[in-house]
Amino acid sequence: MTTLVYDGSFDGLFTAVFEVFEYRFAPAEVISKEHYLTVDFFSEVHEVVTDEIKVDRVIKKLEANLGKSGVKQLLLVYLSERADSGNLILSAVRKCIKNPAENILQNFADPDIMEISKICKSMGREIHRLHAFVRFEKLEDGMFFAKVEPDFNVLPVSWKFFRDRYADQKWMIYDLKRRFGVLYDLKNTEFFYPDEGQLNSLRNSETLHHKEEQKYQTLWQRYFTKTNITERKNMKLHIQHVPKRYWKYLTEKF
């Protein structure tokens, strides 16, 4: 058994997949440094150095066989942050190479493909929730800011929704769990990684609020209070549609 350990990036993972075929490692497993916690004395460790040329070759091959939608599915598996995501993707690529004329991601009789399908469905639900439950706060400089903490790393595949919907406003969304965010300045969209000083300000964003922000929040809270019908309150159904883990970021729940 050869264990390929990569740096945790998507490019690093696809470099590892390429090298499984390049060096004919069999059997092999692919795992990130973050999840490689124990030493297996019966396994040979191969340190993967990310190579963009190898990444491009893998992606082009997969796009030719599975299409861009298939590559996106594998990206969602990677973003799920599961420890076995590398092995699931490697399994899918092996089947893709072996059966180039088939869309192997539709073969749900295969346990690995079925697991990939389940992950993609879970990721899809989390992306939908992120779109629905983000609450922006207006800051002193006119920027609109939102904090999120999704179960999976869905911000990299969700930000285009906000760019299209709020194209006339400057905004930024910050993932507290993964310590990165997305910034839109009316022209460009880019990822940002704050230092410790900036991170403290982002966590306590209420100190940066525009003077009108509290008025808007109060108005929003009063609206939900007044429109609520106590007799029809169904907390079980409410939690089903709005999971509790999102409540701390919802203005109407303050």
What amino acid is encoded at 117 in this protein?
A: S
Between CA 5 and CA 132 the distance in angstroms is 36
Is 88:77 a contact under the CB 8 Å cutoff? yes
- For residue 254, the model assigns a pLDDT of 64
- For residue 247, the model assigns a pLDDT of 80
Whether the per-residue pLDDT at 39 is higher than 80: the answer is no
Residue with the larger pLDDT of the pair 193 and 43 = 193
What mean pLDDT comes out for the span 199-215? Answer: 84
Between CA 42 and CA 28 the distance in angstroms is 12
Going from the C-alpha of 196 to that of each of 11, 90, 147, 201, 208, the distances in angstroms are: 27, 36, 16, 9, 16
What amino acid is encoded at 111 in this protein?
A: P
